[in-house]
Structure formats: structure tokens, C-alpha cells
Structure 1
Amino acid sequence: MATCTRLTFSVDGRLCGLNEYTGTCRSNPRAGGSVKRRETNRVARAAKGLPAMRWPVRVSVKWYERDRRRDVDNVEFGVKFVLDGLVKAGVIPDDSRRYVDQVSHWVGVDRENPRVVVTVETVKGGRDVPERG
């Protein structure tokens, strides 16, 4: 199986933050699952067709918000959707520590083009992705 050592892709718009997710879960316990599926699928669609990565990987996420209203930790909560989307798209086999070595974040503002830019990079000496049956 051919593997890649570094790739970058973008997700248009912003992902659901912790405050929004918590509020949704409190209003209706089943709605939280719906939000998680929706946001995970957004990331998976953006990553669809990307090659499988050698692992372990380091994930760098640049969060471009439309303004500075959301706290950094509220924004970075979306990494759950990013990692789950990478798994769903087949870029990494799992999001456990065996496969994801580090995650780093940067949060900035782009009023005209809010987005999430994800870079996935194999840690030196990474292993091949196992074949899926």
C-alpha cells in the first residue's frame, strides 16, 4: 500500500465548539451524537481521497475563526471531529496514542474565509499502514 508522509487539507467554515456541543447535549442527549456525526462527516468529506499515512503522525490544526469571540479552548475542542474524520476517511487507522503522537493548535482570524487547515505528518521512522480487510 502506498503511503504519504505529509499532507494538508482544509475544512470550510468553523467546527462546533465545546460550549455549543455541551449546550446541545444538555438540551437533548441524542442531539450530541447528531452534532458529532455531522462535524466528523464534514472533516471526512474534506479528507476523502487522501492517501493513507504512515504512523505515528503529528497533527497540526490551524483554526481560522471569523472573529475573536470564541475562547481558544472552545475552538480547539473541534480536534475530536478532526481526528475522528481522519479515521473515517482512512487517512489513519485509529486516533489512539499508537497512531497519533502529538496534536498542535494555532488559532487566528480570517473574517472573509473562516476555515480549519489540517496538516498530518508522519513522525520520522513511521510504520506502514496495515492493510484493511
Structure 2
Amino acid sequence: MIPMPLLTLNQYIEIERGNRFGGAAEKKRTTTIATEYTLLAMRKGVRFDWGKPLRFDWFWYDRRTDPDNIAFQHKFVFDGMMAAGFLTNDNWDNIVELRDRFFIDKVNPRVEVYEID
């Protein structure tokens, strides 16, 4: 479980257009959040067998953001997983299929990632 929002695509584009270094700083910030929560999951014994389909359950706080704009955050989640040592590489060998589902949770926006057998 990683709290949301990290950074939507529209927010990222706006930052990139405003400052050429802003995108890099925001990517670092969001990746750090994903890394911290990945490390917590690892301490609880969460392990994945990479190369299997993954399901992302996105719990968002309202319906004003388009699902594809939310799912852009895959990038930060995978980068955080790699920084934590949970995932060796987010390449074609490890990431073979992504399934996204979207829900509303005004109190606890988050993403939950599951390995699918």
C-alpha cells in the first residue's frame, strides 16, 4: 500500500513546463515515498514472483481525475520498488502485464499492488 496521490501525469507536465529541474525533483520526491512504503511491505514479508501479471488497485479521492492520468504513477511505484531492492529491473522480463482497477476512497487514497497467479 502506497498513499496517493504521488503525482498525476497532468501535474507532472505542469511542473516540467514551469521549471526544467522541477520534474526531476518531483520524480525524486515521489520515488522516495514509494521506496519507503515498499521497504515497509518488505519488512512485513511481502514478496513477488516477478514475471507474473500485476494488479494495481487505485483508490482515489474523487472522480475528477481521469484513470489514465492516475495510472501514470506506475512509473514512480516501480522506481520506488527498484530503489528498495524489491524489484531488480522494471524491464520486459519482470513487468509482463498490468491490470488497473479504480475506486473512490475519500479518506484513504492509495494504491495497492498485487501479484496475480
Give TM-score scaled by structure 1 length. 0.78
> Between Structure 1 and Structure 2, which shows a larger proportion of strand residues?
1
Match for residue 99 of structure 1 among 78, 94, 101: 94
Structure 2 counterpart of 1:23: 14
Structure 2 counterpart of 1:34: 25
> Between Structure 1 and Structure 2, which shows a larger proportion of helix residues?
2
Give SS of 2:68's match: helix
Q: Is the 8 A contact 1:52 1:92 kept in 2?
A: no
Distance 2:111 2:25 in 1: 20
Distance 1:97 1:63 in 2: 23
Structure 2 counterpart of 1:63: 58
Structure 1 moving runs of 4+ over 6 Å: none
Specify every segment of 5 or more residues in structure 2 that has no aligned partner in the other structure, as ranges: none
Structure 1 counterpart of 2:5: 14
Aligned amino acid, residue 76 of structure 2: F
- Is 1:84 aligned to residue 79 of structure 2? yes
Specify every segment of 5 or more residues in structure 1 that has no aligned partner in the other structure, as ranges: 1-9, 124-133
State the structure with more CA Rg. 1
Shift of 1:36: 0.7
Q: Is the 8 A contact 2:52 2:96 kept in 1?
A: yes
